[in-house]
Amino acid sequence: MTVLEAIQKSADFLAKKGVESARLNAELLLAHQLKLPRMKLYLNFDRGLTAAETDGLRELVKRRSAREPLQHITGSTSFCGCEISVSRHALVPRPETELLAELGWKFLQGRADRLASQDAQPRVPATALDFGAGTGCIAIALAAKCSTARITALDIAPDALALARQNAALNKVAVRMEFLLSDGFAALSEGNQFDLIISNPPYIASAEIETLDPEVKDYDPRGALDGGPDGLDFYRRLAAEAKSFLIPAGKIMVEFGDGQADAIRSIFTAQKWIVETVQEDYSHRARILIARF
């Protein structure tokens, strides 16, 4: 069987099992099996697969057809150009969250540039807190894109925090990061303040979790999904508690789910935040709230 035949047969099988983007999944699984960049498959369509390669691909496709996430099978995913290891201990990074990270690092870089222009002695780095860090993808992207910033990654789950540490080391940014095991802001000392608080908290209503795709409800940790009865518990907590951990010129940036924009805006304005903007994602859905006080 050739590379092209393997892709076609795998894609047909995955499509019959209800896997979205079946051709892309088939290509990525074969690239993983062959330890090649996906685009190199196109230069090797006529290459024959060995029996071992065919058997290995068949096993990967079987796992994906059972709706195990592609990222769990390959062991990692790309996020803002950073390689992020994934596991059952944390939410698989989503493409739409890259926009949240981008907005965060642009704000931090602007803050860092202003601090540098003041020529303060000693020089104070821009700082950010990733509330509910999971894999650490947002915090790591901030550290990677803003080379002078110091980032704190906070999570309530020890296994998720260990994964975030691993990913920070993998991306060579751990030296500028701190990792805190904490329920909310509890582990932060009084007077600890940041330029930016950024978060993609759990925002699925509890009763809706069982309606999600198998890749999500069966593999992502429930604690990373469950936002309480209406999905908004963590936004209430952030709106009520985050102010004391921001510098006066600081901002908070939060991602949220479809249809939640008005409710979350109301939650923050009720706590006297000034909502600067509600940003749409790349599919033109309201996705990110940015506020200050």
pLDDT at 119: 59
pLDDT confidence band for 114 (50 / 70 / 90): confident
Distance of CA 141 to the CA centre of its chain: 10
Task: Give pLDDT, residue 124.
Answer: 77
Boundary (domain end) residue, out of 14, 43, 66:
66
Q: What would the two tokens of residue 63 be?
A: 């796992």
Cβ 277 vs Cβ 252: under 8 Å: no
Closest C-alpha among 47, 101, 250 to residue 30: 47
* pLDDT attached to residue 120: 54
* Residue 51 near residue 3, CB atoms below 8 Å: no
The answer to the question of residue 242 being in a domain is yes
CATH number of the domain within which 48 lies: 1.10.8
Q: How far apart are CA 152 and CA 161, in angstroms?
A: 11
Q: Give the pLDDT mean for 141-153.
A: 96
Q: Are 97 and 200 in contact (CB under 8 A)?
A: yes
**Number of domain units in the chain:** 2
The whole-number pLDDT of residue 191 equals: 84
Closest CA to 68 of 278, 220, 277, 239: 220
Question: Which residues are within 8 A (CB) of 186 and not within 5 positions of it... i.e. 6 or more apart?
Answer: none
Give pLDDT, residue 59.
Answer: 98
Q: Does residue 129 share a domain with residue 184?
A: yes
Asked if residue 45 has pLDDT above 60, the reply is: yes
> For residue 60, what are the domain limits?
3-66
The share of the chain scoring above pLDDT 90, in percent, equals 93
The DSSP code sequence of 52-99 is HHHHHHHHHHHHHHTT--HHHHHSEEEETTEEEE--TTSPPPPTTHHH
Q: Are 154 and 180 in contact (CB under 8 A)?
A: yes
Structure tokens of 41?
């498959």
pLDDT single digits (tens) 234-277: 999 999 999 999 999 999 999 999 999 999 999 999 999 999 99
276: enclosing H helix or E strand: strand 274-280
Say if residue 21's pLDDT is above 90.
yes
122 pLDDT more than 80: no
Displacement of CA 60 from its chain's centroid (Å): 24
The pLDDT assigned to 64 comes to 98
Residue 288 has pLDDT above 60, yes or no: yes
Q: For strand 127-131 and strand 194-199, is the pairing parallel, antiparallel, or unpaired?
A: parallel
Amino acid at 201: P
Gap between the terminal Cα atoms of the chain: 62
Q: What are the tens digits of pLDDT across the range 156-196?
A: 999 999 999 999 999 999 999 999 999 999 999 888 999 99
Instruction: Report the distance separating Cα 92 and Cα 208, nearest Å.
Output: 18
Q: The domain that contains 241 carries what CATH number?
A: 3.40.50.150
90 falls within a domain: no
Asked if the structure places residue 269 within a domain, the reply is yes
d(CA 133, CA 104): 14
**At what angle are helices 51-65 and 3-16 packed, to 10 degrees?**
20
Angle (nearest 5°) at CA 260 between 259 and 262: 105
Residue 94's φ and ψ, nearest 5 degrees, are -100, 145
pTM for this predicted structure:
0.92
Identify whether residues 134 and 273 lie together within a single domain. yes
- Integer Cα distance of 109 and 106 in angstroms: 5
Q: How far apart are CA 112 and CA 82, in angstroms?
A: 21
The verdict on 23 and 155 lying in the same domain is no
Res 117 pLDDT > 80 = no
Q: Does the pLDDT value for residue 115 go beyond 90?
A: no
How confident is residue 118, by pLDDT bands cut at 50, 70 and 90? low
| Pairing relationship of beta strands 246-255 and 286-292 according to DSSP bridges | antiparallel
168 belongs to a structural domain: yes
Mean pLDDT of 218-239: 97
Residues 221 and 127 in one domain: yes
Domain membership flag for residue 280: yes
Q: Does residue 81 lie in a domain region?
A: no
Render pLDDT for 54-67 as a digit per residue (tens, 0 to 9): 999 999 999 999 99
pLDDT tens column, 198-215: 999 999 999 999 999 999
Q: How far apart are CA 18 and CA 42, in angstroms?
A: 25
